[in-house]
Structure formats: structure tokens, C-alpha cells
A and B are shown apart, each in its own frame.
Chain A
Amino acid sequence: MSDTHAQTVAYVRDTMTEQREPPLSQTGAYKWILGNMLSTPLNVILTIGSLWVIWSVLSHVLPWAVLGIWNADSLSACRAIRTEIYGADASVACWAVISERWPQLLFGFYPPEGYWRPVLAFALFIAAIAPILFASLPRKMLWLTVASPFVMFWLIWGGTVWAPICIALGFVIGWAAIRVAGPRIGALGSILLAILVPVLYWVVIAGPLASGLSAILPIGLDQVASRDMGGFMLALIIGIAGIVLSLPLGIVLALGRQSDLFLINKVSVIFIEVIRGVPLIVWLFTASLLLNYFLPPGTNFDLMLRVIIMVTLFSSAYIAEVVRGGLAALPKGQYEAGAALGLDYWKSMRLVVLPQALKISIPGIVNTFIGLFKDTTLVVFIGLLDPIGLSNAIRASTEWNGIYWELFVFIGLCFFIFCFSMGRYSLFLEKKLRREHR
């Protein structure tokens, strides 16, 4: 404002007025409730309906769960305590079944003195997966990741330490073959060599080598058979093995389905469609009933291994479809740019196409993993003791005959925690990898 103007006006306020509080109806909980819950008649009805639902669920479940009894050794003892404290017609949970049987729910019939082994293997798994999940961790930890499958296998199944070492040696030999022979005989030859030599090694040398070494230096843990494993340990073993193995297989299948090569394309399409068209339960029965028909007479291998193979094949078909969606969503210019840079097929896939395509398909891939983890419960039908199978076994015992809800709630909560955190991680990853501005 100019000075002249100031002189013409009798009074000019030179400080701001105090900011006043907004009126009560425009602020705080009152406005929020009015705006979010009671804005229209329909909204009022919805709010009342939801309140009724919440009340009717919580008024039943909350006292039942909170007043639950934790110290008892059978259902009848539990009921006796309940009658003593709350009266005969009170309905309270008997969490004692969880506190008494939780080792069984976690480990199945794994020998109790060996519980530290799966726990250690799980801790190792967390340590091994961490550098993959979070890029901020030191890259040196990836060596742990590479070694962990063998160590975990040894910890859980036990036996001589030399067997996993000799198997791991095969991969080292293959890697060495690429490194040493690569520069001399070209990429294709060295890859063939890196497949052939380790296979020969595993078939011919690895077995005698392992038994020879264990005869000289017998280091090992007590062996535990697969049929003794159960509960969440079983679900985690099948789930994690399936997840780790099905991702690469799914990516290969997706590339096969996109391939120009007629035969490769058709084989991939038929494989994916046949696997996806039939429920997992039918495949699991196939694994337990029919696999012996397709293998040479006399072969018989672990039921758990068969289940892992079937679950892997099953979810790899789903992952293939998810990744195919990601590949199809990439603009064609990306493929052409890869070719224009003179990259060959594998290099352009590895460096240009797949990183982008996989980024697009993260939500779908994680959803498939969550589905796979939930589907591990289906193994109960072919005689493996997953958590639900164990809940049946616990109910069949004389002490806990007739207990339902406590076990279901516990199992459901455990699955919920695993699956929900997987889903949250996928959201985190999506946010982290998002490059375009929003």
C-alpha cells in the first residue's frame, strides 16, 4: 500500500486478528462422526447395522476369548475349572489345549529333543531371505542365502553332514565349468558342460564320496523321517520350498508361452492349461496314488517330496500366467530396444524385459504365493499332518475330545499372520519399485 492511501483511511489495522477456533460443528469428533457416519439416512442405517454386527460378534467372542482358561490338562478339567469360577452355563474358551499341545501344533511328531533344529533352520531362513527382501542389507549376506538350502535340509532331516556338502559341491563344479571353459569353448558349450559334468558327478561320484567321507569323519545329526514332521513346520517346509522353486519355473514357462518357437510355445501352453484346469487336490491324489505308475518299477520316494514337486508344478503354472501378463503389459518398444542394442535373447530378457515385467507382476506373484501357502493345508487329505490334520488328531485324543473353536482360532490366526504380512510386503515392494511420478 502506498503512503498516500494510508492517510486517506481513518484506521488501518496493522496486526492480524487472532485466529478463532472453528465452530464446534465443524471440528473434532463431532464433525467427523457427522460427516463420515451420519451424513445421509442410508449412512445412518449402515452405521447402526455395522454397530449391531460388531456388538453381536464382540459380545460373544470377547468374553469367551478373554476369560479363557489356560491351565488344564484335558477338556473335562477345563470344564471343571469353568464351573468353579464362572458357573456351569458360562461359555469360555479352553486355551489350555494350545498351551499344552503347541509343540505338537508347531512341529508335529518331530522328536522333542530336536526342536532346536527346525527353529534354527527357520532362523537361518529368515537371515537368508532378508538380503533378498531388503536391498539395504549388506550384499555379503547373499553367501548365507546360497548356502542356506543345504544347511536347512541337513538341520531338518538330519543324517550325515557330508551328503548336503557333496550335493552342493556339484553346483560348485558346474559354476567352475562355466568360469573355466567359458572363454575357451563359447557360451553354449560351457552351459552344456555345466549341466553335464555336475549330473555325471551326482550320479557317479557324489554317493560314494559322501559315504566314504562319513565313514572317515562321521559328523551328523539324528535322522528324522518326513512322516514325523507336521504342523506349521510342515506347512512352512512345503510352502517355502514350493515358493522358492516355483518362481524360476514359472518365469521359464511364461517365456516359453511367449516364445516364437512353435513346439516350445505349444508345450508350455498345454502344460499351463492342464495344470490350471484341474484342482490341486486332484494333483495331490495323483501324486500319492498314480506317481508309482509313471516311474520305473520299484522306485518309491518320499511322500513329502512328491507333494513339494506337485505344489511347485501347480503354482508355477499360475505364476507363469501372472508373469505372462507382466510381459504382455510391457510396450513392444522395450523388446525392440533390447534387440537394437545388440543383446541376444537371454541378455535382453535378463537385463531389459524381465526386470520390468516382474515389477509389474509383483502383486500377482505374491498373491500366488499366499495361495500356495494356504493350499499347503490340502496335504491333510493324502495323510500328511498339517495343522488342520493335527487339530483332528488332537480332537481324537481322549483328553481333548470335542474341542473345536480354540484350535481353529489358533490355526487361523497363525495363517493370517503369515499371509497378511506377505501381502503387506508386496505393497511395500510395489511402493519402493514405483518409478513414475504420481
Chain B
Amino acid sequence: MTTMTDPPGQGFRLSQLIYDTRYRSLTIQVVAMILLMLLVSWLVANTVTNLHALGKDFDFGFLTQPSGYDINQRLIAYDSQSTHGRAAVVGILNTLLVAVLGCALATVLGVVAGVLRLSNNWLVSRLMAVYVEGFRNVPLLLWIVLIFALMSESTPAPSAFRGDTPSASMLLDGVAVTNRGIYIPAIHFGAPFFDNGLYNWLIVLIAFAASVFAVKRLSRWAAVKQEATGDRPTTWYLTLGILVLPVAILFALMGAFLDLPSLQGFNFQGGIHLRGSLIALWLALSLYTGAFIAEIVRGGILAVSKGQSEAAFALGLRPGTTMKLVVLPQALRVIIPPLISQFLNLTKNSSLAIAVGYMDARSTLGGITINQTGRELEGMLLLGLFYLVLSLVISGAMNVYNTSVKLKER
């Protein structure tokens, strides 16, 4: 708000601090500053007094002390003798695991549901509307406990798989759905020198990244050829080969074999055990967020005006090319920012893991560690910081993306 004021006839008067727009903003800010400082110092003084009265101090030393509790799902080595700090890292990794799995599945579900909701097929679009409205209007917590109850109440116990005529059977001989979780086959590497699982997967990942890079080069070569001659060389078999062959050869070299779960004693052994808590949390988060993503995708596609695809058809582009070159780039500009904020929501909602006993960051750092050490202040501060940093990093990345795809206007 800029207002032209006549230059004051006489010197500075005190009332100008309130009535003169040039000085008023300064006055307001100084008063606000003083009030803020007073509030903060009041809070800090209270905290210091309270901590003193309880005989506590403000110290992060507990992070290096042995934790003394077990975590049932761990991505890195951990036992009850490890430190509280390591327990926090295990929890953070579990949070990130379910967040990444959830984002992937939610995107797939959301894109499929969003596109199908626009379908001409009345039945399909109504079905998708029911899915979207049903999941958006019921609390996520209810879905989590419901799916967890489904997992634990409506699935057979491992003992049902035993005997000559078992009442339950494994899917494709490799996947067992039980009330203790789902057992799926694992890939292990048997060749000498390849006994460390993590590094093996890193090698596979690097090889795959190299293949993807090569595929990109291939398609650029094809595009150059098309520009020069007008004919695009057929590359799909080359692409397939480049993507599959190196990884397959690597698997053979490293002696990969499938480790199938099998019933031994009272429980399944071998394979990968996905706990019921992880499955329930993952499915509920994905289905719930997927409903929101479906609406975003639908809105994004509707936001591209019909004239755009008609213009592309008028230029003689085929429907597939039109989608790829004209509609999708414009729809993505609308879709991506809210999509990423949905990913953020999913990550934050994963803290509802508490409902099913999934050991995420809140359960380890913000739960058992706090209970055992009595360090509520430090624990909650670290937990809050973890989520805050995660949010800021993701939204920072989103801002960079937004500026890069923004319409370049005058």
C-alpha cells in the first residue's frame, strides 16, 4: 500500500509513528517483534523452570545409549543392544519404505482410476466414482484398521497349509497369504564373491541405470534419423534387449536363485516375510491416496482444452502421438504439483502406523525411545525435525520442477 503523503511541514512528531503510512509499518513491526520476543522468552522460561522442577536436562546423549528393545521389521542390522540412534534410523527407514511403496502403488491406482473415470463406459466411470468418493469421505484410520482386521481375521493360519488336504494353498507355489503376513519368494545370489545382498542389488541397479541411459541414447538416435529421412527406424526389440539382457546376464553370473517360502514347523521359512502391519498400512495408504490422485489426474486431463487435441489431429498426428506430444505435457503441468503434495500427505499419514503396530519413525523414536528414556522434549523435537526436513526437501524439489515447466509468459 503506497500512498503519497505531503512532506511534513514541521519536524518529526511522535504521532507520525501511528498516522503516517511511511512510519506505521515500522511501528507495527517493532511492536510485533517485542510481543513475539516476549512470547518466546515466556515459553523458554517456562520450559526451563519445568525441566528443572522435574530434574531433567536438555541432552541428546540418550541417542548413543543401548536401546534395549527389539524391532520386528528392520532394513539394517539391529538388535536390542544397538543404540537409540540406530533404532531411530531403523524407524526412519521403515517410514521411507512404506512411503515409497505407497507412493508407487497410489500413483498406479490413481492414474488408472482417474483415466477410467473419464471413460465413455458408464459402468466403469460410475464404479470409479464409487471408489473415489468412498475412499475420500471415510477416515484413513478406519481403512487402516479395517484392512488390518481383514489381514488378521479373514486369512488362514499357517497351519491351514499343512497336511495332505490343506484348506489353504499357496498362490503359484510361491506366495502364501497367512494371518501372520504374506510370504513371497526372495531372490538370493549364490555365486562366490557375491555374498553381500545389499551390494549385489546395487550392482544390478547400476547395470539397469546404464541400460536405461543406453535406451535414451537409442531413441535420440532414432529421432535424429527420423528428422533426416522421415522414417523412424523400428527400435522396440533393441530397447527390449538393452533393458532385459544385461540384467539377466548379471543375474546368471551372480548365481541368482529363487528362495521360495515353505512351511516348516509352525510357520513359513524362507522368502520375504511382509508383515500384516506393513501390508495393511501400505494398501490403506495407497487406496486412500489413490482416490485423491484419481481426482487430480481427471482434473489435469480435463484442463487440457479439446482444441489442443483437435489441432494435433488437424496436423495429422496419430492418437498415440497426440497423447504423448500434445496432451500429456500440458496435463502433467497441472497434475504434478498436487500429485507431489499428495505424496507428501501419504508420507505424513504413514505416521498412522501406530494403529497397526508398524515400527516407523514415530513408533521407535517418538514412541518406545521416549517411554524408555523419558526424553519427550528431545524425542518429539527430533521426530518433528525429521518430518519437517522431509517435507521441505520434497516441496523444494517441487518448486524447482514448477519453475522449470512454468509457461513462459511475457
Given A188-B18, A264-B32, A54 contacting B384 (CB threshold 8 A)? no
B46 touches A295 (CB 8 A): yes
Task: Answer yes or no: B43 CB below 8 A from chain A CBs.
Answer: yes
Interface residue tally on B, bucketed by range: 35 or more
Give per-residue flags for A298-338: 1 if the beta carbon is below 8 A from chain B beta carbons, else 0: 00000000000000000000000000000000000000000
Task: Answer yes or no: B283 CB below 8 A from chain A CBs.
Answer: no
Contact of B388 among A274, A388, A408, A423 (CB under 8 A): A274
Give per-residue flags for A408-433: 1 if the beta carbon is below 8 A from chain B beta carbons, else 0: 10011001100110010000000000
User: Which residues of B104-162 are within 8 A (CB) of A?
Assistant: 116, 119-124, 127, 133-134, 136-142, 145-146, 149, 153
Task: Answer yes or no: B65 CB below 8 A from chain A CBs.
Answer: no
Residues of the B chain whose Cβ atoms lie less than 8 Å from the Cβ of A388:
139, 141-142, 145
A292 touches B50 (CB 8 A): yes
**Of B169-177, B186-194, B258-266, B347-355, the one with at least 4 CB within 8 A of chain A:** B347-355
Distance, CA A331 to CA B322, complexed state (A): 33
Task: Answer yes or no: A290 CB below 8 A from chain B CBs.
Answer: yes
Task: Answer yes or no: B100 CB below 8 A from chain A CBs.
Answer: no
**Of A44-52, A165-173, A195-203, the one with at least 4 CB within 8 A of chain B:** A44-52
Task: Answer yes or no: A297 CB below 8 A from chain B CBs.
Answer: yes
Residues of the A chain whose Cβ atoms lie less than 8 Å from the Cβ of B47:
293-294
Distance, CA A273 to CA B127, complexed state (A): 37
User: Which residues of B229-275 are within 8 A (CB) of A?
Assistant: none
User: Which residues of A167-210 are within 8 A (CB) of B?
Assistant: 188
Least CB distance, A96 to chain B, in whole angstroms: 19
Give per-residue flags for B298-325: 1 if the beta carbon is below 8 A from chain A beta carbons, else 0: 0000000000000000000000000000
Residues of the A chain whose Cβ atoms lie less than 8 Å from the Cβ of B120:
35-36, 39, 43
Contact of A282 among B25, B383, B390, B392 (CB under 8 A): B383
Give per-residue flags for B35-50: 1 if the beta carbon is below 8 A from chain A beta carbons, else 0: 0100000010011011
Task: Point out which of B49, B123, B384, B391 has the most chain A C-beta atoms below 10 A from its C-beta.
Answer: B123
- Of all chain B residues, the one with the shortest Cβ separation from A283 is B384
Distance, CA A424 to CA B119, complexed state (A): 23
Distance, CA A298 to CA B47, complexed state (A): 12
Residues of the B chain whose Cβ atoms lie less than 8 Å from the Cβ of A415:
137-139, 142
Least CB distance, B48 to chain A, in whole angstroms: 9
Distance, CA A16 to CA B146, complexed state (A): 66
Task: Answer yes or no: B205 CB below 8 A from chain A CBs.
Answer: no
B376 touches A294 (CB 8 A): no
Task: Answer yes or no: B69 CB below 8 A from chain A CBs.
Answer: no
Task: Point out which of A35, A47, A277, A416 has the most chain B C-beta atoms below 10 A from its C-beta.
Answer: A277
Given A281-B362, A339-B1, A404 contacting B138 (CB threshold 8 A)? no
- Of all chain B residues, the one with the shortest Cβ separation from A286 is B380
A293 touches B50 (CB 8 A): yes
Q: Count residues on chain A whose CB falls below 8 Å from chain B CBs.
A: 59
Residues of the B chain whose Cβ atoms lie less than 8 Å from the Cβ of A405:
149
A53 touches B380 (CB 8 A): no
A416 touches B32 (CB 8 A): no
Least CB distance, A262 to chain B, in whole angstroms: 7
A290 touches B142 (CB 8 A): no
Task: Answer yes or no: A138 CB below 8 A from chain B CBs.
Answer: no
Residues of the B chain whose Cβ atoms lie less than 8 Å from the Cβ of A370:
136-137
Task: Answer yes or no: A381 CB below 8 A from chain B CBs.
Answer: yes
Give per-residue flags for B371-408: 1 if the beta carbon is below 8 A from chain A beta carbons, else 0: 00000110010011001101110000000000000000
Give per-residue flags for B11-48: 1 if the beta carbon is below 8 A from chain A beta carbons, else 0: 00000001000000100110011001000000100110
B377 touches A293 (CB 8 A): yes
**Of A20-28, A217-225, A372-380, the one with at least 4 CB within 8 A of chain B:** A372-380
Task: Answer yes or no: B53 CB below 8 A from chain A CBs.
Answer: yes
Given A47-B124, A381-B354, A282 contacting B380 (CB threshold 8 A)? yes
Least CB distance, A269 to chain B, in whole angstroms: 12
Contact of B349 among A274, A279, A293, A380 (CB under 8 A): A279
Distance, CA A336 to CA B123, complexed state (A): 50
B141 touches A282 (CB 8 A): no
- Of all chain B residues, the one with the shortest Cβ separation from A275 is B388
- Of all chain A residues, the one with the shortest Cβ separation from B376 is A289
B123 touches A51 (CB 8 A): yes
Given A279-B387, A281-B351, A282-B383, A412 contacting B122 (CB threshold 8 A)? no
B124 touches A276 (CB 8 A): no
Main secondary structure of the interface of B (DSSP, over half): helix
User: Which residues of A43-88 are within 8 A (CB) of B?
Assistant: 43, 46-47, 49-51, 53-54
Least CB distance, B215 to chain A, in whole angstroms: 28
Distance, CA A381 to CA B145, complexed state (A): 13
B383 touches A420 (CB 8 A): no
Distance, CA A405 to CA B142, complexed state (A): 11
Distance, CA A36 to CA B47, complexed state (A): 66
- Of all chain A residues, the one with the shortest Cβ separation from B350 is A279
A50 touches B124 (CB 8 A): yes
- Of all chain B residues, the one with the shortest Cβ separation from A348 is B1
Task: Answer yes or no: B366 CB below 8 A from chain A CBs.
Answer: yes
Distance, CA A415 to CA B141, complexed state (A): 12
A276 touches B123 (CB 8 A): no
Given A264-B29, A296-B46, A408-B146, A281 contacting B352 (CB threshold 8 A)? yes
A404 touches B139 (CB 8 A): no
Residues of the B chain whose Cβ atoms lie less than 8 Å from the Cβ of A274:
388
Least CB distance, B5 to chain A, in whole angstroms: 14
A278 touches B32 (CB 8 A): no
Least CB distance, B40 to chain A, in whole angstroms: 11
Given A282-B351, A293-B46, A294-B43, A46 contacting B25 (CB threshold 8 A)? no
Residues of the A chain whose Cβ atoms lie less than 8 Å from the Cβ of B380:
282, 285-286, 289-290
- Of all chain A residues, the one with the shortest Cβ separation from B387 is A278
Contact of A267 among B36, B121, B138, B141 (CB under 8 A): B36
Least CB distance, A408 to chain B, in whole angstroms: 5
Distance, CA A415 to CA B142, complexed state (A): 10
Least CB distance, B269 to chain A, in whole angstroms: 30
Task: Answer yes or no: B51 CB below 8 A from chain A CBs.
Answer: yes
Distance, CA A419 to CA B137, complexed state (A): 5
- Of all chain A residues, the one with the shortest Cβ separation from B130 is A54
Residues of the B chain whose Cβ atoms lie less than 8 Å from the Cβ of A377:
139, 141-142
Distance, CA A174 to CA B136, complexed state (A): 42
Task: Answer yes or no: A260 CB below 8 A from chain B CBs.
Answer: yes
Residues of the B chain whose Cβ atoms lie less than 8 Å from the Cβ of A213:
none
Contact of B50 among A49, A50, A297, A344 (CB under 8 A): A297
The 29 listed contacts between A and B (C-beta, < 8 Å) are: A35-B120, A36-B120, A36-B121, A43-B119, A43-B120, A46-B121, A50-B124, A50-B127, A54-B123, A264-B28, A273-B388, A273-B392, A276-B391, A279-B349, A279-B362, A280-B348, A282-B362, A282-B384, A282-B387, A289-B370, A293-B47, A293-B51, A293-B376, A339-B1, A377-B141, A380-B141, A381-B355, A408-B149, A419-B137
